[in-house]
Amino acid sequence: MPAHILIAGGGIAGLASALALARRCHRIDLFEQAVAFAEVGAGIQLGPNVTRRLQALGVYEALTRVAARPDALVVRSAFDDRELARLPLGNAMLRSYAAPYLCVHRADLHALLLAAVRGSGAVTLTTAARIGQVAARSQAVSVSSTDDRVWEGDALVGADGLWSTVRAKVLAQDAPPQATGHTAWRALVDMAALPPALRSTQVRVWLGPRLHAVAYPVRRGEALNVVVLAEAAPVGDARDWDQAASLSSLQAATGRTAAGLQALLEAVPAWRAWTLNDRDPLQGPAQMADERIALVGDAAHPMLPYLAQGAGMAIEDAVALAEALDGGDAAAVPAAWARFAELRWQRNAQVQARARRNGEIFHATGPLRWGRDAALRLLGARLLDVPWLYEG
């Protein structure tokens, strides 16, 4: 008999997990603390490792109708706008990895996953359900909400993000996320509202001392997602991913940048911001699963956005979780969750560590910055490509 699985969290990690498990004929109860299913307005880069999983989840065709397919990744200096390196994407990614590199608006990816989950017929969705207590027994798991509703199932998946409540049941000794001292500003602009010189079909990256900026197309190329990350004092509530911000606060953190980048920043009509928090890379499988409870995505392994793989690792987790339980029933859950954690923890830890290292390289100053720029000019695509990640 298929397992009855509870999932805490209705973001990308939770919906992808629900869809993957439902496609393996398990019965799912998913609960979300917000009053409605929604995502904030940010973009996501999806490398071949991620689009390959979305093909396996049956949502690839829907994804191609809402995503953009950039033709190159271009790295420039935030000082003078000189090109430092270039990596062909488009057909080059297909030839190398048999899957495309796509950019999508987070809300669009969330919406298509939600539609697929609703269409599966195997998932019950509940909103306005804030977790109060989690209890695990040898044969079952129960979750109660703060308004005294109770769900019981054979297993629980914690997909409830960076500030996870479920995490405390897997790691009894655990510290809160760490403030990094980095702040991110983001914006979404209609491509048609930009001057032609600022429109782009590429993923563009500018590197500067203690900062970098990224811009890439989303929504079939009809909009441009812009993100600036700087080592600046945190703003607002650390748990708020959608704070109002301003160009002046951004410029105070970055200083004056190259004319091309400055023109783009000034063309943005409104900015949002969030403070970056982090956890140390995973140290072992016990940090991802314990008996009948498993953690996926940011609940298990939050990572800085300097490798553009936070959503990607959550989607990889979802597919691996379902594969681990393939054909299993309630009795098989503890062994399946253990297999899942053993399979996933090292890859997630590697991505977490590489994202941290990229932040140091992207934001380098002095001789390290000069060496970085020289290496990019000399080796170009060889440094920008990451086969160990995209082939996984």
- pLDDT on residue 16: 98
Other beta carbons within 10 angstroms of residue 61's beta carbon come to 10
Q: Among positive and negative, which fits the CA dihedral 190, 195, 200, 204?
A: negative
On whether the CB atoms of residues 135 and 85 are closer than 8 A, the answer is: no
CA angle 212, 215, 220 (to 5 degrees): 160
In whole angstroms, what is the distance from residue 139 CA to residue 91 CA? 49
Q: Tokens representing 208?
A: 């500067």
On whether the CB atoms of residues 26 and 2 are closer than 8 A, the answer is: yes
On whether the CB atoms of residues 362 and 214 are closer than 8 A, the answer is: no
In whole angstroms, what is the distance from residue 104 CA to residue 219 CA? 6
Other beta carbons within 10 angstroms of residue 190's beta carbon come to 11
In whole angstroms, what is the distance from residue 280 CA to residue 87 CA? 30
In whole angstroms, what is the distance from residue 348 CA to residue 389 CA? 10
Residue 103, CB half-sphere, CA atoms under 13 Å: how many?
Answer: 30
Q: What is the pLDDT along the chain (392 residues), one digit of tens a residue?
A: 799 999 999 999 999 999 999 999 999 999 999 888 877 768 999 999 999 999 999 999 999 999 999 999 999 999 999 999 999 999 999 999 999 999 999 999 999 999 999 999 999 999 999 998 898 888 899 999 899 899 999 999 999 999 999 999 899 888 899 989 999 999 999 999 999 999 999 999 999 999 999 999 999 999 999 999 999 866 666 566 677 788 888 888 888 889 999 999 999 999 999 889 999 999 999 999 999 999 999 999 999 999 999 999 999 999 999 999 998 888 899 999 999 999 999 999 999 999 999 999 999 999 999 999 999 999 999 999 999 999 98
- pLDDT on residue 42: 84
- Which of the residues are catalytic? 216
In whole angstroms, what is the distance from residue 111 CA to residue 119 CA? 12
For residue range 222-239, list pLDDT tens digits in order: 999 999 999 986 666 656
- pLDDT on residue 324: 96
Q: Is 50 left (phi over 0), alpha (psi -120 to 50) or beta?
A: alpha
- Interior/surface letters 324-363, b for 16+ CB within 10 angstroms, e for the rest: bbeebebebbbebbbbbbebbbebbbbbbebbbebbebbb
Tokens 């782009």 identify what position? Answer: 200
- pLDDT on residue 240: 64
Q: What pairing do the DSSP bridges indicate for beta strands 211-218 and 203-208?
A: antiparallel
Residue 306, CB half-sphere, CA atoms under 13 Å: how many?
Answer: 27
What is the CATH architecture of 4-40+107-176+280-357?
3-Layer(bba) Sandwich (3.50)
How many residues are there in the chain? Answer: 392
On whether the CB atoms of residues 154 and 60 are closer than 8 A, the answer is: no
- pLDDT on residue 347: 98
Q: Is 220 left (phi over 0), alpha (psi -120 to 50) or beta?
A: left
